[in-house]
Structures are given as structure tokens and as C-alpha cells.
């Protein structure tokens, strides 16, 4: 029997590879990004981003996780 972690020293997987919502992919908001820029870069609409993430405004926070609908 050996002591230590149950996964050979690994503590967790990075959040970017965490379980992806079945409705699409995940995006982490970076500084300077807006709903408009994210919608354009992911090929979706602002309305679809709002709906998928239950957003009531265009305000985003750095580090916020957004579901990107398919």
C-alpha cells in the first residue's frame, strides 16, 4: 500500500477540459471581450448567447464561463 493522492499526484483537470455542456461548447471571457465580439468569433448571435447563458444584460466579467450554443 502506498500513501499519497488517489490519482498519482494529479489534483484536477483544467477547467477548459471540464465537462462540456451538451448544448454547445464553453468559452472563458477574457479582458476586452464583449458579447458582440464573442458572438462574431464563435459564429453565433448575441441573442443566442444571452439565451444559452440566461443573461439579462451585456455585462461580462473576465473569467466568466459562457456556453456557446451550436
pLDDT, tens digit (0-9, with 9 covering 90-100), for 18-67? 334 455 799 999 999 999 999 999 999 999 999 999 999 999 999 999 99
- pTM (two decimals): 0.65
Q: Which residue bears the cell 464573442?
A: 38
The three grid cell numbers given for residue 1, joined into one nine-digit string: 500500500
- The DSSP call for residue 15 is G
Domain boundaries, the chain: 22-69
CATH number of 22-69: 3.10.350.10
Question: What is the reported pLDDT for 13?
Answer: 37
Amino acid at each position: 500500500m502506498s500513501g499519497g493522492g488517489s490519482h498519482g499526484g494529479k489534483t484536477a483537470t483544467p477547467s477548459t477540459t471540464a465537462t462540456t455542456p451538451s448544448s454547445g461548447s464553453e468559452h472563458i471571457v477574457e479582458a476586452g471581450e464583449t458579447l458582440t465580439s464573442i458572438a462574431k468569433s464563435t459564429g453565433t448571435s448575441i441573442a443566442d448567447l444571452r439565451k444559452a447563458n440566461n443573461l439579462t444584460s451585456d455585462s461580462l466579467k473576465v473569467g466568466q464561463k459562457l456556453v456557446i450554443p451550436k
